[in-house]
Amino acid sequence: MEQTAAPPVNFETSPDHYKHWKLSINGNVATLAMDVREDAGLRPADYKLKLNSYDLGVDIELADVLQRLRFEHPEVHSVVLTSLKPRIFCAGANIFMLGSSDHGFKVNFCKFTNETRLGMEDMSAHSGIKFLAAVNGICAGGGYELALACDEIVLVDDGSASVGLPETPLLGVLPGTGGLTRVVDKRKVRRDLADDFSTLTEGVRGKRAVEGRFVDAVYPTSKFQEAVAKRAQELAAKSDRPATGPGVKLGPLNPVMSGDTIAYKYVKGSIDRAKRLCALTIAAPGMDEPKGSSPREMPRTPDEFLAAGDQAWAIRAFRELDDALLRLRLNEPEIGTVVLRTTGDPKAVLAVDATLDAHKSHWLVREIVSLIRRTLKRVDLTSRSFFALIEPGSAFAGTLLELALAADRVYMLDHPDEDNSIQLSVMNGGAYPMSNGLSRLQVRFLGEPDSVGKALSHDGPLDAKTALEHGLIFSAPDDIDWDDEVRMALEARAAFSPDALTGMEANLRFAGPETMETKIFGRLTAWQNWIFQRPNAVGEKGALMTYGREGRPSFDFKRT
């Protein structure tokens, strides 16, 4: 099968543009139903999305609707995830899409679907929105992985509906969205049963699916809908979200693109193709209103956040940054280094942080913090080198300082005649944990935990020398050496093997404990990345390439 390079991907969508999902809300329960249009894939000439199989476009819509449920519908306390197609829940990622995509697209597709499913689990843990998978038919591969991301799975017992992970026997690859990890880590399926399950092409159904813990319950067709509705209400009753709105409507970002630049309201990106580098600058909220006033983008109470809506800096800036990161991942594979800068008044960032901390139990503030947390995780999980440059006029304070802490290296100009400082806030103390459950400060100072408290207890700004003494930055060149040191560091980075850098960075960024999340991404980066390049999967007679065509796969049976 001929592999084609992926066209540029736009990650923005809205409900009036959905092609594959139907959302209905009845009281405090939302029903999110999959109804994939066969002819509406991202590359419709290359494959058909049969049997509710999905491609990246389907998942972009899913990510969008989940974000809107968080912000626009505070009245929703539980979500029923199901299908509108009879006797089919979801056949998983479209095999012909995978077979016709280049290696980088396959890996980034899997990464995005992982982040989306982890976002569902984040909603359960932090938003008070529980998910119930109502599996009304065959549920295979990525379809079962979608169900696994829910809090509970109920399966119709109609004699044919089943759940399964057939990637290994059918395609010669692994489930790409955390299926193996969730089966044993989340659902606590016994290892031998999981081994057998993962080598079955037909999956399991009925009583056997319940006994193995692959689903939570099965119901005959005559009782299925009633049981789903009852359980959805029971899950909704556990939520602490408000009974009614209003919520915050999420409007379009409408970035302005010109050549190799992209400009949002708060985020600007510029690509230097010769240097294989992207410069990203994130602006602090504005402080140009009259003294004593509260700028629209700097709310000080939850009601002011609601009034500011999606133009509040804490919402808008991180939606923009998230969009820029996703575009960079999928559309700019040759850009290997990202230079992070900030601009504006750091006091404005600290004021926002104070509001977020003071009202952290409010549903909307909780969603804002979750948005920032997930966007920062997107930085951690992006296979690019991140260098933060702290110069006079920067706003690396509090929440924006997390970007520097997320970087692989931080350079801070030590200028004798200009003020240049960073400052921590309460939000650096654990509000935005990484995938390993630790704050970025904790990961940075894993071998010297006392340094975390020392940094957080420092009162006021830290200049370059003090930041270096605290271990918060990598280097503090003076104004004479600054340009040369930064230039040489970026040139050296660009000269290394990008494959080696991806592996090195992924290993170094997540020191400390393993979690289900780090296992999913670690195994994806190492194992699936490797398998996706092996002839047994993608060679001329590899299992992924011969599926659905005449002939059988041919394997090289040497174990490596």
Question: How does pLDDT run across 216-270, given as a tens digit for each residue?
Answer: 999 999 999 999 999 999 999 999 999 998 999 999 999 999 999 999 999 999 9
- Is the residue at 538 inside a domain? no
Order of strands across the sheet with 137-140?
87-90, 137-140, 163-164
Count how many domains the chain has: 2
Same domain, 303 and 224: no
Same domain, 388 and 468: yes
Same domain, 292 and 384: yes
Same domain, 160 and 38: yes
Question: How does pLDDT run across 55-111, given as a tens digit for each residue?
Answer: 999 999 999 999 999 999 999 999 999 999 999 999 999 999 998 999 999 999 999
Whole-number Å distance between alpha carbons of 90 and 67: 22
Whole-number Å distance between alpha carbons of 120 and 149: 6
Q: Which domain holds residue 345?
A: 259-505
Question: How does pLDDT run across 268-283, given as a tens digit for each residue?
Answer: 999 999 999 999 999 9
Same domain, 215 and 279: no
How many angstroms separate the first and last alpha carbons of the chain?
25
Whole-number Å distance between alpha carbons of 420 and 479: 12
CATH number of the domain that 106 lies in? Answer: 3.90.226.10
Same domain, 386 and 485: yes
- Is the residue at 154 inside a domain? yes
pTM score above 0.85: yes
- Is the residue at 556 inside a domain? no
pLDDT at 295: 58
- Is the residue at 112 inside a domain? yes
Axis-axis angle for helices 363-380, 103-122 (nearest 10): 150
* Residue 543: both structure tokens together: 């299992």
Question: How does pLDDT run across 355-413, given as a tens digit for each residue?
Answer: 999 999 999 999 999 999 999 999 999 999 999 999 999 999 999 999 999 999 999 99
Same domain, 488 and 397: yes
49, 55 contact by CB (below 8 A): yes
